[in-house]
């Protein structure tokens, strides 16, 4: 490959503004109407449009606040037509012969008998299918269960549907059946679509989706016998100290003749629901291969010859996990039930032994746990929280205390021995419910509410849920336990319908459209040395209040307008007038203008600064939350009043473009298409010069004195806010005029290949007209794989499918069209996403054939070690090769990079973009006609050469030169909804992992983390000792100069951190450079505090995302609140290469604002638990990590993070 001429290039500033919303009268939102109705009626009103499977939203009667109820079980599910229906696990036969629940949150089907699969379970088009090792009989349906009789002699298979999964119970009826050798190992055939199945710590398995989120989970199987049921239970009760004809009366209650305490309702004798009190049980880990899940029953239970022990029950089950509330039951004898069902009458909680002669069980202790996800609470300020759960039964009529505790999190692998540590008492309640007329007064089943008692300062449910909503910890786990776990009389039963009920208001955010109103827009100069100039001493001020993402519904907002004036003699600022609040009465919703505020008369020549913020109201409209202002974030708006300076000039759109009017805005021109503007003085003015800018963030562009017209070439499609001001003879710049104009989209690609076909040619998707398509034929060394750059795509049937990409072997692999795609004598642009396997040979990405040579090449130059785009002067052996531009940073293997090459013969400019960033332009000659096929993965130099080794995807070709902004936008890879398409490139889940390596089995890229020092894998997390424990893999794992997203779930070791010196920094994860930090997620200790409950010293510090500099300072963004230690926290960092910014999310909430950030190409190891210190390592993290994932691409917004991360 030839010589390289690289010239640095600078273009127009990227467009930041978007089209304004319409000015038509606004209709109230459903939530606003519900608030009005609730206030008028004095009763809550549901906001029906905000229903989800597990959440229900209400407007409260105060007319200001909202209520969100999140249930741990689905309260509704989507029907085939998209409507909501009541969940119903009752089974029915379908036309295809399968058996399925009437309405469930998962796609579930049981076999109708024969050789058909036993069960298929799916969600969003991703499925797992299990097969029975034999022929199944036709099932007998029994409500939510399908019973397959005698699948082996005297062995029934009972499949029970739930609304979130299923239970599978083998009922072994006799000792003879238990002796059947086929029961020693029962292998269920396994087939998956769009899921990877891996082991969990307890011997179960988890089904992992394409973005690394756990979609389904199955704990290790449980097995139990029939001891403690039926006659044996009656015998135990009789042998206990029995009542003689009447229940013993507890002081304060009236005994009812013939009724005595009991552990379970009298009709609860079905062993398939779970082990009865007194039953022997065992946990049986599952053997997992790629094609089978094998249940290995406990040999001791199988060997029992005691007929009272039969039937035996063997119970593996599968349930939905990702993004949904979870529940589990843990028992001191080792039995557990993840995702437990209600059975006959809920599940017990407390100590189950003998009390005052009444038998409950053999003396185990049982606790119930409920785990909530944060997504529904994003953007909300929690005012009050209540935990509600139904209690259908209690051991006795007298009230006993039950505690609600916050604990660490659980998973399907959690057992009694590994049960979550209790962190804090939330609420305690003393009650008895569910004994009906056995008690006086009557004691029916009842929803029990746990809410903070203001008189008990140790109750912390509301502040805890508020911290959860703010993202301070990843999940909220609540434990129900008897206060006295030695007292069997405190045994109670609970349903699995626990609900977290939250009263909330919106968290306010920074307003938009901040500035002084002029023309059809606003002006805001954030530089005090270059203030805007206005001629009107009573300026109109603009502010449109906003809420944090997720808080929009029902928000009651106002904008506050505040202004300071500067006193030069004392160099101080003071308030110019009392703050103005708009609207003066009532409220507006999110992103709704409250109207302008008119300032009182201001003084000529004085420097002023203006800021504004959002208020969100609650507490019967008497209290409010204040959001951030532009003064503390994007900058004050500085201005002066000068009534003698030039007034706002006139603007005339002379050619191509036209001014947007209040009710119409016509698109014209296109990116890079010239238009002429003419400026003129306001009436009575005499101006000598003008300057303009195309958006508020741009620098002013000055015209020479006397010039009144200018030709502009907008860099991209969209709405522009043209800002113009004039200068008078004494050199004063005056007031500004702002006018909008709309730039049409440029001509689209003339060819585009996504490589999503299952086989055959790569279809040109730039057109649906077959005769105009340039389809590409794949060679024998070219295949498609499921690791395309766009990640997970909609499949058109409500599900998703992995994106495919073109995979080339580097020797014979390529794809080519039948004929030319480009007219190479005219301007053109080519682009592709590439992932290089090796740096050894040259590697061509795109070219087009001439007779002997290719007129251009886009690819990798081994000699330079960089990406390259260049053109050849002519289709002849001239003694020279290709001239163009090389990338600023070296190419790397194993990571996705976006390349764009552009050539314009009219200017002879050859330009290369890498990840949307210009690498420079070169002036070269190379305009000649090449009429051969378009090549993907090779080029022509006499013969075909330099086949690309690796992956190529999303190839596009334009018959024009893209503008720099358009090239930048291409690197965003947005879908039709404006969301960035992201590809998971690394995912490490330590569940079930031990030893010294942790392999990525979810992303398809297969990188392995290797531990070092005092780092260990304990089956649930990567544990780091804070001194030398770490893990790493050769890096980089992502193109650090391109956009990416990283997420992790990390827990800090509070005690170790508190003992560190203030100012200490530790890295959770990140990429190093040769002598420093490319990027990382960090924690910095800023102080210590005392925990009032434990009287222990706790660390105080903040999360950071960005770069730790050599002087100990950070470049990047910092969390809003101190980091929570000792509990898992979800952190997500995003680098947007196109904007040149980083942002940090703690939980689901963005912290701080986007911060400017310059990319630094990584080299060396990618690190977990330590950070670069000079050329070595330091900054070791004390704590644990339970999840780490990285995507190519910058997730666009909060909702995409919630949907993709999947907590």
pLDDT in tens, 412-456: 999 999 999 999 999 999 999 998 888 888 889 999 999 999 999
The answer on pLDDT for 21 being more than 60 is no
Cis amide bond preceding 583, omega within 30: yes
The answer on pLDDT for 1206 being more than 90 is no
pTM of the prediction?
0.90
> Mean pLDDT across the stretch 840-867?
96
> Mean pLDDT across the stretch 545-561?
94
C-alpha to C-alpha distance for 858 and 861, rounded to whole angstroms: 10
C-alpha to C-alpha distance for 839 and 835, rounded to whole angstroms: 11
How much is the pLDDT for 1043?
97
The answer on pLDDT for 270 being more than 90 is no
Q: What are phi and psi of 926, to 5 degrees?
A: -175, 40
The answer on pLDDT for 8 being more than 70 is no
Q: In which band, very low, low, confident or very high, does the pLDDT at 250 lie, cut at 50, 70 and 90? A: very low
Percent of the chain residues topping a pLDDT of 90:
81
How much is the pLDDT for 1091?
85
pLDDT in tens, 995-1020: 999 999 899 999 999 999 999 999 99
How much is the pLDDT for 231?
47
How much is the pLDDT for 248?
35
Q: In which band, very low, low, confident or very high, does the pLDDT at 26 lie, cut at 50, 70 and 90? A: low
C-alpha to C-alpha distance for 488 and 1102, rounded to whole angstroms: 46
pLDDT in tens, 1094-1117: 888 999 999 999 999 888 889 999
Q: In which band, very low, low, confident or very high, does the pLDDT at 12 lie, cut at 50, 70 and 90? A: very low
Taking alpha carbons only, the member of 1045, 1070, 1041 closest to residue 1160 is 1041
Taking alpha carbons only, the member of 473, 347, 341, 339 closest to residue 412 is 339
Give the pairing of strands 532-534 and 637-641.
Answer: parallel
pLDDT in tens, 1133-1149: 999 999 999 999 999 99
> Mean pLDDT across the stretch 844-860?
97
Which residue pairs from 82-91 have beta carbons closer than 8 angstroms and sit at least 24 positions apart in sequence?
A: 84/51, 87/163, 88/163, 89/143, 89/144, 89/160, 89/161, 89/162, 89/163, 90/143, 90/144, 91/141, 91/143, 91/144, 91/145, 91/146, 91/161
The answer on pLDDT for 382 being more than 80 is yes
How much is the pLDDT for 335?
92
Give every CB contact of residue 454 below 8 A, 6+ residues apart in sequence: none
How much is the pLDDT for 1076?
87
pLDDT in tens, 1061-1084: 999 999 999 999 987 899 999 999
Q: What are phi and psi of 218, to 5 degrees?
A: -140, 120
How much is the pLDDT for 15?
26
The answer on pLDDT for 257 being more than 50 is no
How much is the pLDDT for 6?
33
Return the CATH fold of 650-743. Immunoglobulin-like (2.60.40)
How much is the pLDDT for 244?
26
How much is the pLDDT for 322?
64
3-class SS at 617?
Answer: strand
Report CA-CA distances (Å) from 580 to 485, 560, 594.
Answer: 59, 6, 12
Cα Dmax for the chain:
113
The answer on pLDDT for 1168 being more than 90 is yes
CATH number of 751-972: 2.60.120.200
Sheet hosting strand 597-598, strand order edge to edge: 521-523, 508-518, 540-547, 597-598
- Mean pLDDT is lowest, of 264-278, 524-538, 928-942, 1075-1089, for 264-278
**Distance separating the N- and C-terminal Cα atoms of the chain:** 49
The answer on pLDDT for 696 being more than 80 is no
How much is the pLDDT for 261?
52
- Rounded mean pLDDT of the chain? 91
Domain chopping of the chain, boundaries: 74-229+274-324, 650-743, 751-972, 983-1205
The answer on pLDDT for 7 being more than 60 is no
pLDDT in tens, 461-513: 999 999 999 999 999 999 999 999 999 999 999 999 999 999 999 999 999 99
How much is the pLDDT for 269?
53
CATH number of 983-1205: 2.60.120.200
Question: Where are the extended beta strands (E) located within 980-1076?
Answer: 983-988, 997-999, 1008-1012, 1016-1017, 1022-1025, 1030-1034, 1044-1052, 1065-1072
C-alpha to C-alpha distance for 782 and 755, rounded to whole angstroms: 11
- Mean pLDDT is lowest, of 177-181, 212-216, 913-917, 935-939, for 212-216
Q: In which band, very low, low, confident or very high, does the pLDDT at 95 lie, cut at 50, 70 and 90? A: very high
pLDDT in tens, 709-729: 999 999 999 999 999 999 999
Record the tokens describing residue 143, joined without a space.
Answer: 């409500």
The answer on pLDDT for 22 being more than 90 is no
The answer on pLDDT for 640 being more than 70 is yes
pLDDT in tens, 280-331: 999 999 999 989 999 999 999 999 999 999 999 998 888 887 668 999 999 9
The answer on pLDDT for 357 being more than 70 is yes
CA 704 to mean position of chain CA atoms: 50
Identical fold for domains 650-743 and 751-972, yes or no, is no
Report CA-CA distances (Å) from 662 to 316, 519, 655.
Answer: 64, 11, 21
Percent of the chain residues topping a pLDDT of 70:
94
How much is the pLDDT for 267?
36
3-class SS at 902?
Answer: strand
Report CA-CA distances (Å) from 2 to 164, 838, 868, 937.
Answer: 61, 20, 10, 18
Q: In which band, very low, low, confident or very high, does the pLDDT at 760 lie, cut at 50, 70 and 90? A: very high
């Amino acid at each position: 490959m030839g010589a390289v001429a690289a010239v640095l290039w600078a273009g127009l500033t990227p467009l930041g503004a978007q089209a304004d919303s319409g000015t038509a009268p606004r209709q109230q939102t459903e939530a606003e109407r519900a608030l009005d109705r609730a206030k008028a009626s004095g009763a809550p009103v549901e906001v029906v449009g905000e229903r989800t499977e597990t959440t229900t939203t209400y407007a409260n009667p105060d007319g200001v606040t909202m209520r969100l109820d999140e249930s741990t079980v689905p309260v509704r599910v989507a029907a085939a037509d998209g409507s909501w229906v009541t969940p119903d696990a009752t089974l029915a036969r379908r036309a295809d012969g399968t058996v399925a629940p009437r309405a469930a949150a998962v796609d579930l089907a049981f076999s109708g008998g024969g050789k058909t699969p036993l069960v298929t379970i799916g969600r969003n088009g991703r499925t797992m299918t299990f097969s029975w090792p034999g022929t199944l009989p036709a099932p007998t349906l029994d409500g939510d269960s399908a019973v397959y009789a005698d699948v082996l002699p005297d062995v029934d298979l009972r499949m029970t549907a739930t609304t979130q999964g299923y239970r599978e119970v083998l009922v072994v009826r006799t000792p003879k059946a238990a002796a059947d050798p086929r029961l020693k190992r029962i292998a269920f055939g396994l087939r998956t679509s769009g899921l990877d199945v891996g082991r969990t710590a307890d011997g179960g398995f988890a089904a992992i989706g394409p973005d690394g989120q756990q979609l389904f989970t199955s704990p290790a199987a449980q097995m139990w016998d029939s001891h403690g049921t039926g006659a044996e239970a009656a015998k135990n009760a009789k042998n206990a100290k029995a009542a003689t004809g009447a229940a013993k009366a507890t002081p304060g209650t009236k005994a009812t003749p013939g009724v005595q305490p009991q552990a379970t309702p009298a009709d609860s004798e079905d062993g398939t629901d779970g082990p009865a009190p007194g039953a022997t049980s065992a946990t049986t880990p599952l053997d997992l291969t790629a094609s089978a899940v094998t249940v290995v029953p406990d040999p001791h239970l199988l060997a029992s010859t005691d007929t009272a022990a039969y039937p035996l029950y063997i119970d593996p089950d599968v349930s939905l996990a990702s993004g949904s509330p979870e529940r589990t039951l843990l028992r001191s004898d080792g039995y557990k039930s993840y995702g437990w069902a209600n059975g006959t009458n809920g599940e017990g909680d407390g100590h189950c032994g003998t009390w005052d002669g009444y038998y409950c069980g053999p003396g185990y202790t049982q606790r119930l746990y409920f785990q909530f996800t944060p997504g529904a609470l994003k953007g909300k300020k929690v005012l009050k929280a209540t935990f509600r759960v139904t209690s259908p039964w209690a051991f006795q009529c007298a009230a006993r205390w039950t505690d609600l505790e916050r604990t660490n999190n659980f998973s399907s692998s959690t057992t009694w021995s590994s049960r979550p540590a209790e962190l804090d008492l939330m609420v305690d309640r003393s009650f008895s419910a569910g004994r009906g007329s056995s008690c006086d007064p009557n004691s029916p089943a009842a929803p029990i509410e746990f809410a903070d008692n203001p008189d008990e300062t140790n109750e912390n449910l509301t502040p805890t849920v508020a911290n959860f909503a703010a993202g301070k910890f990843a999940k909220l786990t609540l434990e129900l336990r008897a206060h006295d776990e030695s007292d069997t009389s405190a045994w109670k039963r609970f349903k699995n319908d626990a609900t977290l009920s939250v009263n909330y208001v919106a968290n306010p955010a920074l307003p938009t459209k901040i500035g002084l109103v002029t023309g059809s827009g606003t002006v805001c100069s954030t530089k005090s040395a270059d203030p805007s100039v206005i001629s009107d001493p009573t300026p109109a001020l603009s502010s449109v209040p906003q809420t944090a993402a997720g808080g929009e519904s029902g928000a009651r907002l106002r904008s506050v307008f505040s202004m300071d004036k500067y006193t030069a003699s004392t160099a101080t600022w003071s308030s110019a007038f009392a703050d103005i609040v708009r609207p003066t009465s009532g409220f507006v919703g999110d992103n709704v203008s409250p109207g302008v505020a008119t300032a009182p008369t201001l003084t000529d020549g004085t420097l002023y600064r203006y800021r504004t913020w959002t208020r969100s109201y609650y507490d019967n409209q008497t209290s409010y939350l204040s959001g951030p202002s532009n003064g503390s974030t994007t900058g004050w708006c500085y201005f002066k009043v000068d009534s003698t300076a030039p007034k706002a000039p006139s603007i005339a759109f002379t050619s191509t473009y036209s001014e947007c009017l209040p009710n119409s805005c016509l698109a014209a021109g296109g990116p890079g298409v010239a238009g002429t503007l003419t400026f003129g003085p306001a009436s009575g003015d005499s101006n000598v010069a003008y300057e303009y800018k195309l958006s508020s963030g741009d620098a002013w562009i000055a015209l020479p004195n006397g010039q009144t017209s200018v030709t502009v070439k907008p860099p991209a499609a969209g709405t522009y806010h043209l800002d113009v001001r004039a200068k008078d003879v004494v050199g004063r710049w005056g007031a500004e005029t702002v006018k909008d104009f709309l730039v049409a989209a440029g001509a689209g690609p003339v060819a585009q290949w996504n490589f999503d076909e299952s086989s055959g040619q790569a279809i040109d998707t730039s057109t649906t007209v077959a005769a105009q398509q340039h389809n590409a034929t794949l060679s024998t060394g070219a295949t498609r794989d499921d690791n395309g750059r766009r990640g997970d795509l909609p499949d058109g049937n409500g599900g998703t499918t992995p994106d495919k990409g073109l995979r080339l072997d580097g020797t014979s692999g390529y794809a080519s069209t039948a004929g030319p795609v480009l007219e190479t004598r005219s301007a053109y642009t080519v682009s592709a996403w590439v992932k290089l396997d090796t740096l050894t040979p040259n590697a061509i990405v795109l070219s087009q054939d001439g007779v002997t040579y290719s007129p251009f090449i886009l690819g990798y130059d081994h000699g330079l070690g960089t990406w390259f785009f260049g053109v050849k002067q002519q289709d002849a052996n001239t003694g020279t090769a290709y001239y163009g531009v090389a990338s600023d940073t070296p190419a790397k293997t194993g990571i996705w990079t976006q390349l764009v090459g552009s050539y314009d013969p009219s200017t002879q400019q050859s330009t290369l973009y890498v990840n949307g960033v210009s690498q420079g332009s070169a002036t070269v000659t190379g305009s000649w006609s090449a009429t051969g096929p378009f090549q993907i993965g090779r080029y022509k130099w006499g013969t075909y050469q330099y086949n690309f080794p690796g992956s190529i995807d999303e190839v596009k070709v334009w018959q024009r030169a893209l503008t720099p902004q358009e090239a930048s936008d291409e690197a965003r890879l947005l879908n039709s909804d404006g969301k960035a398409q992201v590809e998971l490139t690394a995912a490490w889940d330590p569940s079930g992992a031990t030893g010294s390596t942790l392999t990525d089995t979810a992303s398809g890229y297969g990188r392995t983390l290797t531990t070092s020092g005092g780092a260990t894998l304990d089956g649930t997390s990567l544990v780091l000792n804070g001194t030398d424990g770490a893990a790493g893999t050769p890096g980089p794992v992502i193109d650090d100069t391109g956009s990416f997203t990283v997420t992790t779930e990390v827990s800090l070791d509070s005690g170790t951190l508190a003992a560190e010196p203030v100012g200490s920094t530790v890295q959770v994860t990140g990429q190093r450079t040769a002598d420093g930090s490319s990027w990382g997620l960090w924690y910095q200790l800023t102080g210590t505090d005392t925990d009032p409950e434990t009287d222990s010293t706790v660390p105080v510090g903040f999360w950071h995302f960005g770069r730790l500099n050599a002087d100990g300072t950070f470049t990047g963004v910092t969390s809003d609140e101190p980091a929570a230690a000792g509990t898992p926290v979800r952190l997500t960092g995003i680098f947007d290469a196109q904007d040149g910014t980083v942002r940090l999310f703690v939980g689901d909430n963005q912290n701080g604002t986007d911060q400017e950030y310059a990319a630094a190409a990584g080299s060396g190891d990618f690190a977990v638990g330590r950070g670069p210190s000079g050329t070595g390592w330091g900054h070791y993290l004390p704590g644990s990590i339970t999840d780490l994932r990285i995507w190519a691409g910058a997730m666009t917004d909060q909702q995409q993070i919630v949907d993709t991360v999947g907590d």
